[in-house]
Amino acid sequence: MTKQELIENIKLRQSFLCIGLDPDIEKLPCCLKTEPDPVLSFNKAIIRATANYCVAYKPNIAFYESLGSSGMKTFEETVSWLKENYPQHFIIADAKRGDIGNTAEHYARSFFHKMNVDAVTVAPYMGEDSVKPFLSSPGHWVILLALTSNKGSSDFQLLENSLGEKLFETVLRKSKEWGNDGQMMYVVGATQGKMLQDIRRIIPDHFLLVPGVGAQGGSLADVVEYGITPDCGLLVNSSRSIIYASSASDFAEAAGNAARDMQQEMASYLRAKAIIAQAE
């Protein structure tokens, strides 16, 4: 998917919501436990209920890998069902990969050509030749970890270095030379709202994938205040607060309501920033 297509979808749906498909087998509604593939049934029900309110889905591969090869089959089936039924939605494989060149090429082939996702999250620690192989496939995106929303992000990402920058700033500045803003995005944790100002000085135009809004306590207002661009430039991810809005048989309806609430808040910001027209 091109950057322009993504922006059009954001304007069409008046939303920059990304929904994390992180199905924890222990948290699935009891009513699904008898299904042949409870996780796949859960994903389909959540997607049907929320697709009108979001522009992207982000399955975190850990939740599927932890179920073994059958879990990976569920992941593949979820992605192919999404592509078939909701072709306009942007699909992010949250895999946080990072490996040397020939191995990274295997991952790129796996995610982009076998699993047919639009984007893969990649970790920067191993440097340019662990990222470049993901950038050779037009219409497919690398979403590089820059500043994460977890407590441990302070251990290394915030270290000041001899270049007078924090590590995550050096990651942004160096990596933006590896590809353009039509093939790279960055993960920036929402719990660090004000840091978005510094980040926008380095990458004014790149899309940011912002986790940590909702369950992890980040504020959507802060993210918009400090991170939005004339093209929106944001994908805000929410997982648990939407997909586990209810654990009863009304789980899908509750997820739809939670997604619609976020979409409406996002629409008001998009109007306020004149990215979409004022409501009649």
The contact set with a copy of itself (CB under 8 A) reads: 22, 24, 60, 62-63, 65-70, 72-73, 75-76, 96-104, 106-107, 109-110, 114-115, 123-131, 145, 148-157, 159-163, 167, 170-171, 174
Q: Quote the distance between the C-alpha of residue 127 and its chain's center.
A: 21
Closest approach of Cβ 256 to a copy of itself, in Å?
24
Q: Which long-range contacts (CB under 8 A, 24 or more apart) does 268-273 make?
A: 269/220, 269/224, 269/228, 270/10, 270/11, 270/14, 270/16, 270/232, 273/224, 273/228, 273/230
Half-sphere exposure of 198 (CA within 13 A, CB side): 16
Instruction: Provide the CA 140 distance to its chain's centre, in angstroms.
Output: 14
Closest CB to a copy of itself among residues 103, 257: 103
List the structure tokens of 214: 């909702």
Q: Dihedral sign for Cα 13, 15, 16, 19, please.
A: negative
- 3-state secondary structure (DSSP) of residue 229: strand
Distance in angstroms (rounded) separating the CA atoms of residues 229 and 206? 9
**CB of 72 or CB of 202, closer to a copy of itself:** 72
The nearest distance, CB 214 to a copy of itself, in angstroms, is: 14
The phi and psi torsions of 184 (rounded to 5 degrees) equal: -130, 140
Comparing CB distances to a copy of itself, the nearer of 56 and 144 is 144
Q: Which is nearer to a copy of itself, 5 or 65 (CB)?
A: 65
* Active-site residue flag, 3: no
CB of 180 to a copy of itself, least distance (A): 18
Q: Which one of 11, 83, 96, 176 is the catalytic residue?
A: 96
CB of 97 to a copy of itself, least distance (A): 7
> Would you please indicate which residues are annotated as catalytic (active-site) residues?
96
